[in-house]
Structure 1
Amino acid sequence: MQSDRSDSSGPITQRVHSLTTAATGDTRGKHRIQAELKRLEQETRFLEEELEQLDKMEKASAACKE
């Protein structure tokens, strides 16, 4: 299952934009933005791995027939 990642109006992009706007000129804000981005990237990787595992699983109805 592939998603269209070119959509720049997604919730992650909106969150990063709001963080960037709130932290303009603040070095602590820059660190918070980088930490939030890292957390979001880790969550994205985790969810992508979970989706891959789900794609490899049998359908529930096939397992119930057995």
Structure 2
Amino acid sequence: MQSGSSESASPRTERVQSLSTPDTRGKHRIQAELKRLEQEARFLEEELEQLEKMEKASAASKEMLSKVESRPDPLLSV
């Protein structure tokens, strides 16, 4: 009878041990997701910096329009 009671205690011990051991696969997934989000945040910060350095669209459009208008169209006969 003691062997029966020791067997019933063993699964409990295993269950408690399995709950106390960390889930390394879950931890790895969380770390990978965190790393991906950090990379995305860095990418977006770099993109924002580039946008801040660019001229306003209207100023760039006016400059391009003046350059295009000053050159004759090579496909039209003069």
Q: Does TM, normalized by the shorter one, top 0.5?
A: yes
User: Which residue number corresponds to residue 49 of structure 1?
Assistant: 46
Structure holding more helix per residue? 2
User: Which residue number corresponds to residue 31 of structure 2?
Assistant: 34
**Pairs aligned (count):** 42
In the alignment, structure 1 segments of 5+ residues that lack a partner are 1-24
RMSD: 0.9
In the alignment, structure 2 segments of 5+ residues that lack a partner are 1-21, 64-78
Q: Answer with 1 or 2: which has the greater Rg.
A: 2
| TM-score, normalised via structure 2 length | 0.51
Runs of 4+ in 1 over 2 A off after TM superposition: none
